[in-house]
Structure 1
Amino acid sequence: MAAPDTRTQLLDAAEHLFAERGFHGTSVRAITELAGANLAAVGYHFGSKAQLVTAVVRRVLDPITAAQREGLERLLARTPEPSVAELVETFAGPLFDGMPAGDEGGARTSRLIVTIFGDPAEEMRSWTGAGEETMRDRYLAAFGHALPGLPADELWFRLRGILAVVAVDRVNGYNERTSSGAARRWAFTFLTAAMSAPPTGS
């Protein structure tokens, strides 16, 4: 098997370090040292550390986002009024598929997602584009139709909560070797109940 090229080595090293240390805690020097590359390599291949973190996050999350989008399209083609449980499974299922239990790559992905949520650096949230916004809006519309009494801002909070719950579970799933199938079923049950709860204050 051929050795990975410098760009891939930089992405691998940056993914590991950003997930562990966050954006500001990770230096370009640390990335290039771990990748076995020279200090100018980040600028040559990505332009800046900010553009590198965008490339890292997109490489990890684009397949998950694509699977969520395709799953929603299949679900809406089958029924124009999917249930909350069906929407939760369609949205959360690709997260479990992308972060399998006992897999170092899956654990690193989950740690990166947790870091994105908790890192105050704006660069950690600047990776999204029109595609992610369109997909988010379609899920919000579908959940909003299934949960007509839930205010839009609380619905968006709960949708973000799905990402956070699954990411934290997958970190623990790697450390504890939790059965991925069992955790998946528990998560779908829990998240369906959480999404379906009455609006706060009602």
Structure 2
Amino acid sequence: MDTRTQLLDAAERLFAERGYSGTSIRAITNEAGANLAAVGYHFGSKADLAAAVARRVIEPINAAQGENLDRLLAAGGEPAVADLVEAFVGPLFDVRSARTSRLLMTILGDPAEEMRSWVGPVEAMFRDRYLAALQRALPGLSEQELWFRVRGMLAVTVVDRIEPMGDEGRRWAVTFLAAAMSAPPMR
């Protein structure tokens, strides 16, 4: 295995266990069996390594979510809220690794700005496509409230992945999240 991959694997494990601030470059390189300069050489900085770890984990999920959204939109008409929720959270339920689920929790909840600032134009375009589809399905919600609810979908789904409950848990989550997304706007 090459040094770059070893660093990504080590950083993924350590960020999932300790968070961004609790993980030093030295700990990452020790875990990877690499020298201290390897992070700078391969990634530039610890923040850039964190971004690479996040993308490596999230890109396959985003790809599946994008395929689901494309399929719904190609079917014609406007998709129902429950279908949009299933298309969005379904790939998160397909994550089979507890470590990946913990890493997703870290990405969503770590107070370090570096764990939230990795999003680039591809991720922004993906987010905007889902937000647009949800806005059409839920026209009474402000953009801010809609984004709040989407973050809630992510949080509920990722927390549930820590102790997965199988297909039944997936159905419960989709039903719950579709109802939460469809609730009247806050005034």
TM-score when normalising by structure 2: 0.96
Residues 130-172 of structure 1: per-residue CA shift (max 9 Å, x gap): 1111111111111111111111111100011111111100012
Partner of 2:9: 12
SS of residue in 2 equivalent to 1:139: helix
2:151 paired with 1:199: no
Residue identity opposite 2:72 in structure 1: L
Partner of 1:29: 26
Matches within 5 A, 1:124-143: 124-143=115-134
What number of residue pairs does the alignment pair up? 187
Residue identity opposite 1:132 in structure 2: E
Residues 30-75 of structure 1: per-residue CA shift (max 9 Å, x gap): 0011111111111121111111001100000001011111111111
Residue identity opposite 1:164 in structure 2: A
Partner of 1:109: 100
Identity %: 69
Partner of 1:103: none
Q: Please say which of residues 34-43 and 187-196 is displaced more in the overlay.
A: 34-43
Unmatched tracts of structure 2, length 5 or more: none
Partner of 1:153: 144
TM-score when normalising by structure 1: 0.89
Residue identity opposite 2:136 in structure 1: H
2:156 paired with 1:165: yes
Unmatched tracts of structure 1, length 5 or more: 101-105
RMSD between aligned residues: 1.1
1-side partners of 2:49 and 2:60: how far apart? 18
2:66 paired residue among 61, 69, 81: 69
1-side partners of 2:146 and 2:19: how far apart? 28
1-side partners of 2:87 and 2:109: how far apart? 25
Residue identity opposite 1:128 in structure 2: V
2:38 paired with 1:38: no
Give the drift of 1:80.
2.7
Partner of 1:93: 90
2-side partners of 1:50 and 1:135: how far apart? 22
Residue identity opposite 2:110 in structure 1: D
Partner of 1:183: 169
SS of residue in 1 equivalent to 2:163: helix
